[in-house]
Structures are given as structure tokens and as C-alpha cells.
A and B are shown apart, each in its own frame.
Chain A
Amino acid sequence: MAKVLEGPGMGLMKKWGIHVPNYVVVTSADELAKLGQANEWMKTSKLVAKAHEALGSRFKLGLVKVGLDLNGAVAATKEMIGRQVGSITVSQVIVSEMIAHKEEYYCAVKSTREGAEILVANCGGIEVESNWDRVKRLCLAVGQAPSPEALEQLAKDAGFTGPLTKKMADFAGKMFTCFDSEDAQYLEVNPVVTRESDGAFVALDAVTLLDGDAKFRHPDWNFAFAAEFGRAYSKEELEVMAVDSKIKGSVKFIEIPGGDTAMLPAGGGASVYYSDAVVARGGKLANYAEYSGDPPDWAVEVLTEKVCSLPGIKNIIVGGAIANFTDVKKTFGGIINGFRKAKADGKMKDVKIWVRRGGPREKEGLDAMRALKDEGFDINVFDRYTPLTDIVDKALQK
């Protein structure tokens, strides 16, 4: 699931014929001022300026300003650019026209197991969230497009009447086309508003989630996906992602500040059970990590270096199930190299290492890990006969 910021999200909607307000994304107040000279709407409309970053509660943070004229928008942009919120520095501001409207509606398209679901409500904004039963759904099997009749029925069910029925049906149809054509996983417009000037339905605020795996067939997805948990990726995380994108198999790394139990487990499934075991034991995770699919040893080495560099860690959990085809000796070779480098940099003082693993060449791999003891590592090595997460219990025993 890949989140897309408002600018590119609105761009995709516009591509499929959905009315969106005029907008520009700028990286400086000067750029906005210049654009203001070139675009008539910026001089004549009231404007909204928002920090164009993956941040929640922007309104509360003062990163949304409404009812501005161009000068006001330039001033707001100047104020927002460079603002530091947690780990995110505001580097872009989206400035759009305010659409004068009275009514607000809701429309979304959601991926389901069978295909997709179109959601429509004749209320919008915060009202829809407190009146979720007013949302009406149209379920579609994969490969099936909604008929105009079904869409009109959906609008009617949601309480639209008169000419609004057809307008909402058209809007929902376009939303579905955009969803289906762009490999979206979730599209939500809240609110949909009636533009007073011409009565058209306009998407005022949008959430766009795309299927990152489908990028290969969308050459025009020239935007970056936004970080998904309300903060920017750290330098270390980005470095591991860069390695991940280059290799067969995968390496993943996410930092969790404040923890003291570092994770270096194998497998997308087992890694979560290891994290669960740490939390269940009252431990504090310092990171999430995972390597799988028989990645090259150098990639695991990079991951290991990042894990060993986490501040204040006391234990490193090198866990893993019994691999199907990941070569234990080879991947452990990468981990061992990483450990040695970290030790040479003085990072392994008072750090205990806990190993449990099985799979192709498990004996050779585990023997190599055991041999680290002779190099002065505080390391405890277990094989398949020790249940998966028991090393966490041993590590966190008081």
C-alpha cells in the first residue's frame, strides 16, 4: 500500500475527469508569487495553503491556512516551508483555490477481496464520520464496471434526489474508473462539494492509496510515495530501502526510538512473532527488521550494521524459523561481517546476541556464529530444537 500526497493524488483524479480545485505545489514563497502572476485564478479566488507532507492533524499544527488572498498565501507558504514537525521538515506547500459551496457529500472506492466497493453518502466532512450508517455501498466483482443504472440506484439509496442523483452517479463512476485504471487500493473524497459557480461536483479533499506493486505499468507515476506512519524515513531506513530495491530477496528496517531490544530476524512472518514475543515479555523494541528470500550476504551485512548502530541496545535477536531456501551459512556470513565491523567501531559493548535458526546449511551457519564467542562477542546460539521465540524469553529474563 503506497500513500500518495494530495498534489499527485488530485493529479490522478483530474486525469480521469474528476473536477478538482485549481492547485499548485511549491517549494518556496517566491515560486508561489511567480505562479501568482501567471495564473488568473490565484489572483481572483480565495486560497487555501497546506503543508504538502505526510503529516496528520495539520490543522491543529497550524499547517493549514484558509481564506487567503495571494499575498496571504505567499506569507503562509513562507512561514510553513522549513518548519520542523517531529522528524519531518516541511519542504512543499500545496496552494489551491477555495470552492464556494453549501452542500458536502462523501464518495470512496475501496478494494475488497471480491473486487471493489463504491461508498457514497449525502453528507460529508466530519458529519459522515459520525453518521457512518448513512454510507451506502455498491459491491463489484473484479473485472466488473458499475452500470449507470446501478450508480444512480446507489445515489438514490444514499438519499440523493432530482438532478443531484445523476451528478453523484457520474462522480462515483469517474471515481471507480480512476480507481480501477490507476491500480488504486483506496480512493476517498471527503468532502465532495457542489461548486456554486456552475453546480459541478468537485473533489475538495482526497486520500489516495495506490498499489506500489503495479508501478511497472504506470509510467506516469512520477511522484514519490509518502512515508506511511506520520514521519519521514530516516537516513538509515532509506539506505536499507535502497539496498532492498536492488536485490533478489528482501531486507527491511524501521527504527523505533527509545527501545533497547534490537531485532535482526529472518522472514516476514517470523519477524512479527519475534516482535510480539519481545512486547509480550515487556521488552521495548528498538526497531523492526527482516531479511528473507535468500538475499545476498552483503545486503544482510548492511542491515546488520544498521541494527548494531541503534543507540542504547542491550540485546540483538537474530531469530528465524527453518528456512526453505535461504542459505543460513551465507546470510549468517553477512551478519557476522556486520557484527565484526560494529565491534571494531566499538558498538558492541554490553550487547548480548541471541541466535536461533534452521534451514539449508544450518549447521555451518550456526557453527560460524558460535565461533564468534572466541572473538569476544557475548553470543548465545540455539538450533531448531529450541522453539522459535524462546531466545526472546532467555534474552529478556530478569
Chain B
Amino acid sequence: MSILANKDTRVVIQGGQAGVNAARRMAEFCYLIKRPLSVEAFVYPPDAGKTNEIPYGSGLIAVPIYKTIAEATKNHPAINTSLVYIGADRAMKGGLEALDDSHIKVVSMITEGVPEKDAKILGAHARKLGKVFNGPSSIGIISAGSCRLGVIGGAFDNLVLSKLYREGSFGVITKSGGLSNEIIWICSQFADGITTAIGIGGDAYPGTDYVSYLEMFENDPQTKAVVIVGEMGGDLEERAAEWYGAKKRRVKLIGVVSGFCQESLPKGMKFGHAGAKEGMKGEGSARSKSDALKKAGAIVPPTFGALGPAIKETYQEMLKSGQVKEIVEPTSLPKLPKTVEEAMKADEVIVAPLIRTTISDDRGDEPCYDGYPASELINKGYEIPHVIGLLWDKRLISKQEAEIIKRIMMLSADHGPCVSGAYATILAACAGIGLSQAVAAGLIMIGPRFGGAVTDAGRWFKYAVDNKMTVEDFLAYMKKNVGPVPGIGHRVKSLRNPDKRVKELVGYVKSLHIKTPCLDFALQVEQVTAAKKDNLILNVDGTMAAVLVDLGFPVDSLNGFFILSRTIGLIGHWVDQKRQDSRLIRLFDYLVNYAAPKRREVPPLK
């Protein structure tokens, strides 16, 4: 047996993420003791109508979220307990809502920092209704082998180590959350473990105090002794002592109280819990509490360290008197399924990776590009073109190569609003489309007819150079197998009206006196084609392509130089339209050649 929480406990959790985390811990416990998930519903108005997915074993259970307690208990009439994880400013309202629901008999509040008055109102309201209000600031309640309310008991491994999968003989009541776990652990190591452990919270006026729970433990035949962990401040321990001393009790009481250090510290020093403050006239000191417990006949070890041996001694006596029997532990217990990460760490599983990367890794404290930390690249004077070199071609390019790439990018960054890419971005911007989509609209235009010829130009010039073709052979080959030579020809520019960007780039690259076989070949091709037709000149795509191939960049990366550079311009166009607050535009009818059939009658539908 146990008190407060058992196999029949069905729970609604009031609150958001903290409540979901608690539900996960509770599911781990349910899985350990092989009972179905005890959490049936959440109440959290912002997410009402959705579900929270709670892992149970290796599966997931969808737990519905409701707007009100009434809705939750209407749909899940077995609910009899509520856990409150609502912020301190709304906690009282939530607690009262739960207490007022006829299905709910126990409300445990985890919220910290609840005003004292609110806690008193909740406690008084519960007493009036004959229900239990536990907390605020409670870590939870756990009945070994049957029910866990909240995160009390800690991680799965601790549940097993502390033998919480089956009942023992000791009840535990603590103010402190961390110490509740410690005492559960001690009871499992020095004795046969616990029946129920309750965190009543460290506030000055908890809704339910030691005495109410001692009374319940007294009536639970499985519980043979109760451990209480007290603190200075208030009079809860004195009241527990008074209860214990009032008449012969069936349960043994073991108690420790903290706060003896107070005697040698500055007066009024505030410790961890709100309730830990000394009374006005010395009442509530650790010593007075400890003395009161001793006087009432409780076992009071002198220090926390002596608690384990005291529990052990009590247990040995109970064994000797036949009050309890030694427990045979189960030979096997369910193991919590490992996550993939945990299993990999333990070398228990091989996972076939979904993707493979050879260029970058940001799992450390900063990204590494082809192995080089970004900050180190910055501090050693490397620039954007070097990063391009690392990420596109996995090599650290030279200063000279970087300078060429920088110039290519500067020359290709924008080409005014009328070209397909910029025009598409502007159209989108005027339609109120966001930056990334509007820029994407412009980028979509990059293809065989606009800006997308760099890769193809590079491919064919390289093909010619690699195969040592003459210009004539190349042009004949292209005519037969490919079509117009990519990188040759311009809509508006011609021999007489040359493209200044090409002149600039070619002039610079030539001035460096480096080997440029592709560029040289492309210029020879231009001489032949331009002689045939004035506008069949080497265009900027072709020039870039030839130069980049000469620098050793892979052909497949070449369009990237145009895409990257032009993105700068497209972003500029979007921001420009945004800044001007441009209006939606549409074509004028006179810009359209309406060549569709004239208006005519629709025949009847057959």
C-alpha cells in the first residue's frame, strides 16, 4: 500500500513545457513498473486542441491538451489528480480550478514563488472540500511500485538504483526536493526502500504539512516508519513532534532538521527555501525543532550523515521483530530504450549515415571550413574568395587567385533593373513578397538564356583545350553536336560597342602573366565568330568561365560565381523597392500583343 498516489491515480497536468518534462519522467516510471501512462490529459489553453507526444518505452503516446480542467475530466473521467506547473502569478487560479472539479481529489503544485496568501487560500479551500492540496514548490510525490507524480525520483537509472519499482517500508516527507531523492536513496541502501515519498515544498505555509501526512502513513499498514527532513523556520516540525508525542503511534518517526549553522551565523540570513527563516523569538530554530522531536520520542540522528545508520538500525529491529521480511529483488527489470546517440556512444549500434559531407563541420565551438576554423582564417587575413575556394573547391587559393575572384564578383554583382533576374525580384518586391522569396524569384531566372551559361561555356572551352582542338574544329564540333557556343554572343554589346566588363577582366588577368589556356582559346574563338557577325563576341559569362577554368575551379561550380555575385544585386533591388515603399505593378495592356481568339459564345456542355 501507499498513500496519496497509487495504481488508480490518473493525472491531468496543468501547464506547458515544465509539465511536459514531468510527464516524460512519469512515463519512464510507468514503463519501469509496467503500468500504462498515468498522465491522461494536459490543460494548457494556448495549445488546446493539440497533443503532447510523450515517449513511453520506444514508442510515443499522444496526450490531448484541453483548455479547462472541466473539459479534461469530462473526456477522461478517471482523472483524480492534478499537477500544477503554472507560473506563480496564475497558479492560484489554476489550483482552485482543479480543486473545484469533483473528479479531482489531490492537487500538487510545483510552481515556486507563489505568494503566501495564495498558498493559504488554496490550502484552506482544499481542507474545506476534504481534498489534498500539496505544495507549492513541491518536487512531487512518488509511491514505489505504483505511481509517480512529478519529477521526484530523478533519472531512470536512479529509479532503479533506489528500488522504486517495488514497495519498501519507509514513508518520507521532506521540504527540499533534492533531499527527497537523497532520502529515498538512503532508505533503499540502508533498508528496504520506501512506500511513498512526498515533497511538501519549502514555503512557509505549505498546503499540507507533516501532520496530515503522518496521519495517513499511520493508517497505511505497509508503512512501518516515517523519515522527515526538516529545516529551521516555521513550526511544522514542532507540530509533527506534538502529533507523535500525543499518543502511542504505530509508525516509528525518524527526523533530522537543518539549520544548526544558524547559531554561528549573522542573524536573519536567508537560506535556500522561503520557509527557512527563524521566528521572531528563537522559535523555529533547528535546535528547538530537534529537541521537540527527541522529546516526543522520535529518533533524531545528530547529523545528516548519521541518518543512514539510524534508518538501518530501525530496519534491522523491524526485521528481527518479524514486522518486515527481506525482499527478494526481481531478477530482471525493463531497461529504458536508449536513444540512438546513447547507443552509438556505447558502441551498441551502427547507423548508416544519411548524408556525407567533405567541406565543413560546425559541431565544435565554431565552424571549420575544410578543416580550418573560421576565426583563424579571419585573423590570418583570409577573405571571402578564400572561403569560396575552401567550400567550392576544397583548397586554399592564393592571394592572386583571390583577387581575380573578387574582381569577377564585383563585375557581376548587378546589371541594372531590366535583366530577367533583377526584374523578377523587383516584380516580387512590389507584390509585397519577402526578401528570401523575392531573391529566389530572381535566381530562378538564371538559366540557359540569362547568366546561366558560365558552366556550359567553361565546359566546352575546357573540352576544346583538353582535346587540343583548333578553333575551326571546335566551331564545327559545336555546330554539329551542341548548337550556339555558350559564352559567345550578346543581346546588345558588339565589337563596336564592347562589353567593358570583359575588357577589364581580360586586361587584368593578362597583366598577371599567368598561364591562361582557356581564356586564350576563347579569345581566338571570338576573333573568328565576331568576324562573322558583329555581336558574336566573348561575353562576360564566357570570360568568367574561361578564367575560372584556368584557375582550376571545377566546371560544375562555375554558375555559382554568377549566382553568388548576382545575389548581391538582387538583394539590393529588393531593399531598394522596400525602401521606396513601391506599389504593386502590372503590365499595361499596350505592352501585350493580344493574339488570343476573339470573344465567342461558349457551346452547351456535352
Determine whether A198 belongs to the interface, using a CB cutoff of 8 Å to chain B.
Answer: no
Which of B101-109, B271-279, B467-475, B481-489 interfaces with chain A? B271-279
Contacts of A359 in B (CB 8 A): 154-155, 158, 181
Tell me how many residues of B have a C-beta within 8 Å of chain A. Answer: 67
Report how far A168 CA is from B261 CA in the complex, Å: 42
Question: Least Cβ distance of A264 to chain B in Å?
Answer: 13
Which of chain B's residues 271-294 have a Cβ closer than 8 Å to chain A? 271-274, 276-277, 286
Determine whether B266 belongs to the interface, using a CB cutoff of 8 Å to chain A.
Answer: yes
Do A142 and B117 touch across chains, with their CB atoms under 8 A apart? yes
Contacts of A229 in B (CB 8 A): 266-270
Question: Least Cβ distance of B452 to chain A in Å?
Answer: 48
Which of chain B's residues 118-137 have a Cβ closer than 8 Å to chain A? 118, 120-121, 123-124
- The size bracket of the interface on A is 35 or more
Question: Least Cβ distance of B228 to chain A in Å?
Answer: 12
Which of A266, A268, A388 makes the CB contact (< 8 A) with B304?
Answer: A388
Report how far A198 CA is from B434 CA in the complex, Å: 73
Which of B21, B265, B273 makes the CB contact (< 8 A) with A269?
Answer: B273
Question: Least Cβ distance of A368 to chain B in Å?
Answer: 15
Do A279 and B305 touch across chains, with their CB atoms under 8 A apart? no
Question: Least Cβ distance of A286 to chain B in Å?
Answer: 12
Determine whether B450 belongs to the interface, using a CB cutoff of 8 Å to chain A.
Answer: no
Determine whether B99 belongs to the interface, using a CB cutoff of 8 Å to chain A.
Answer: no
Report how far A141 CA is from B123 CA in the complex, Å: 11
Which of chain A's residues 261-276 have a Cβ closer than 8 Å to chain B? 266-273, 275-276
Interface string of B291-311 (1 = CB under 8 A from A): 000000000000111001000
Least CB separation from A280: chain B residue: B303
Which of A256, A277, A290, A361 makes the CB contact (< 8 A) with B265?
Answer: A256
Do B261 and A279 touch across chains, with their CB atoms under 8 A apart? yes
Which of A43-51, A89-97, A153-161, A317-325 interfaces with chain B? A317-325
Determine whether A214 belongs to the interface, using a CB cutoff of 8 Å to chain B.
Answer: yes
Determine whether A115 belongs to the interface, using a CB cutoff of 8 Å to chain B.
Answer: yes
Interface string of A1-35 (1 = CB under 8 A from B): 10000000000000000000000000000000000
Question: Known contacts A267-B177, A322-B178, A325-B25: does B272 contact A252 (CB below 8 Å)?
Answer: yes
Interface string of A143-177 (1 = CB under 8 A from B): 10000000000000000000000000000000000
Contacts of A266 in B (CB 8 A): 178
Question: Known contacts A256-B265, A320-B178: does B259 contact A268 (CB below 8 Å)?
Answer: no
Do B202 and A213 touch across chains, with their CB atoms under 8 A apart? no
Question: Least Cβ distance of B570 to chain A in Å?
Answer: 40
Do B176 and A268 touch across chains, with their CB atoms under 8 A apart? yes
Scoring B209, B273, B286 by chain A CB atoms within 10 A of each residue's CB, the highest score goes to: B273
Report how far A324 CA is from B259 CA in the complex, Å: 23
Contacts of B231 in A (CB 8 A): 269, 272
Do B120 and A142 touch across chains, with their CB atoms under 8 A apart? yes
Contacts of A276 in B (CB 8 A): 258-261, 286, 303-304
Which of B113, B118, B139, B235 makes the CB contact (< 8 A) with A324?
Answer: B139
Which of chain A's residues 257-301 have a Cβ closer than 8 Å to chain B? 266-273, 275-280, 285, 288, 290, 292-293
Question: Known contacts A272-B231, A358-B185: does B117 contact A183 (CB below 8 Å)?
Answer: yes
Which of chain A's residues 108-135 have a Cβ closer than 8 Å to chain B? 111, 113-115
Which of chain A's residues 213-238 have a Cβ closer than 8 Å to chain B? 213-214, 216-217, 228-231
Determine whether B511 belongs to the interface, using a CB cutoff of 8 Å to chain A.
Answer: no
Determine whether B152 belongs to the interface, using a CB cutoff of 8 Å to chain A.
Answer: yes
Least CB separation from A272: chain B residue: B258
Do A269 and B114 touch across chains, with their CB atoms under 8 A apart? no
Interface string of A184-219 (1 = CB under 8 A from B): 010000000000000000000000000101101100
Do B121 and A143 touch across chains, with their CB atoms under 8 A apart? yes
Question: Least Cβ distance of A49 to chain B in Å?
Answer: 26
Contacts of A252 in B (CB 8 A): 272
Report how far A55 CA is from B180 CA in the complex, Å: 38
Least CB separation from B114: chain A residue: A213
Which of B179, B232, B260 makes the CB contact (< 8 A) with A280?
Answer: B260
Scoring B120, B259, B277 by chain A CB atoms within 10 A of each residue's CB, the highest score goes to: B120
Report how far A113 CA is from B120 CA in the complex, Å: 7
Contacts of B264 in A (CB 8 A): 279
Determine whether B171 belongs to the interface, using a CB cutoff of 8 Å to chain A.
Answer: no
Contacts of B204 in A (CB 8 A): 111
Report how far A141 CA is from B272 CA in the complex, Å: 28
Which of B151, B259, B305 makes the CB contact (< 8 A) with A272?
Answer: B259
Least CB separation from B21: chain A residue: A325
Question: Known contacts A324-B153, A324-B181, A359-B154: does B308 contact A270 (CB below 8 Å)?
Answer: no
Determine whether A387 belongs to the interface, using a CB cutoff of 8 Å to chain B.
Answer: yes
Do A272 and B124 touch across chains, with their CB atoms under 8 A apart? no
Do B308 and A269 touch across chains, with their CB atoms under 8 A apart? no
Do A272 and B268 touch across chains, with their CB atoms under 8 A apart? no
Do B258 and A256 touch across chains, with their CB atoms under 8 A apart? no
Do B261 and A275 touch across chains, with their CB atoms under 8 A apart? yes
Contacts of B268 in A (CB 8 A): 228-230
Do B305 and A390 touch across chains, with their CB atoms under 8 A apart? yes
Question: Least Cβ distance of B87 to chain A in Å?
Answer: 9
Contacts of A290 in B (CB 8 A): 271-272
Do A256 and B179 touch across chains, with their CB atoms under 8 A apart? no
Question: Least Cβ distance of B281 to chain A in Å?
Answer: 9
Determine whether A254 belongs to the interface, using a CB cutoff of 8 Å to chain B.
Answer: yes
Report how far A1 CA is from B204 CA in the complex, Å: 10
Determine whether A349 belongs to the interface, using a CB cutoff of 8 Å to chain B.
Answer: no
Report how far A85 CA is from B114 CA in the complex, Å: 35
Determine whether A312 belongs to the interface, using a CB cutoff of 8 Å to chain B.
Answer: no
Determine whether A389 belongs to the interface, using a CB cutoff of 8 Å to chain B.
Answer: yes
Scoring A115, A141, A213, A359 by chain B CB atoms within 10 A of each residue's CB, the highest score goes to: A213
Do B158 and A387 touch across chains, with their CB atoms under 8 A apart? no
Least CB separation from A363: chain B residue: B157
Do B182 and A321 touch across chains, with their CB atoms under 8 A apart? yes
Do A270 and B89 touch across chains, with their CB atoms under 8 A apart? no
Which of A183, A230, A387 makes the CB contact (< 8 A) with B115?
Answer: A183
Least CB separation from A110: chain B residue: B280
Do B272 and A388 touch across chains, with their CB atoms under 8 A apart? no
Interface string of A54-77 (1 = CB under 8 A from B): 000000000000000000000000
Question: Least Cβ distance of B237 to chain A in Å?
Answer: 13
Do A321 and B205 touch across chains, with their CB atoms under 8 A apart? no
Determine whether B88 belongs to the interface, using a CB cutoff of 8 Å to chain A.
Answer: yes
Which of A269, A321, A390 makes the CB contact (< 8 A) with B175?
Answer: A269
Scoring B229, B235, B269 by chain A CB atoms within 10 A of each residue's CB, the highest score goes to: B269
Determine whether B223 belongs to the interface, using a CB cutoff of 8 Å to chain A.
Answer: no
Which of B182, B185, B273, B274 makes the CB contact (< 8 A) with A213?
Answer: B274
Question: Least Cβ distance of B233 to chain A in Å?
Answer: 10
Least CB separation from B154: chain A residue: A324
Question: Least Cβ distance of B420 to chain A in Å?
Answer: 50
Determine whether B112 belongs to the interface, using a CB cutoff of 8 Å to chain A.
Answer: yes
Report how far A285 CA is from B260 CA in the complex, Å: 13
Which of A214, A230, A273 makes the CB contact (< 8 A) with B179?
Answer: A273
Report how far A275 CA is from B231 CA in the complex, Å: 12
Known: A269-B273, A275-B265, A325-B151. 18 other contacts (CB 8 A): A142-B120, A213-B115, A214-B118, A228-B269, A229-B269, A230-B268, A252-B272, A256-B265, A268-B272, A268-B273, A269-B231, A273-B179, A273-B258, A278-B261, A322-B154, A361-B155, A388-B305, A389-B305
Q: Could you pull out 26 A-B pairs where Cβ atoms are within 8 angstroms?
A: A1-B274, A111-B204, A113-B235, A142-B120, A185-B116, A211-B117, A214-B116, A228-B268, A229-B266, A254-B269, A267-B272, A271-B272, A272-B276, A279-B264, A280-B260, A321-B176, A321-B178, A322-B182, A323-B154, A323-B181, A324-B154, A325-B21, A325-B151, A326-B178, A358-B154, A390-B305
Return the 8 tightest CB-CB contacts between A and B, nearest first.
A269-B176, A268-B272, A267-B178, A321-B182, A214-B115, A272-B258, A321-B178, A275-B261
Binding site for B on A (CB under 8 A): 1, 111, 113-115, 141-143, 180, 183, 185, 211, 213-214, 216-217, 228-231, 252, 254, 256, 266-273, 275-280, 285, 288, 290, 292-293, 320-326, 358-362, 384, 387-390, 393
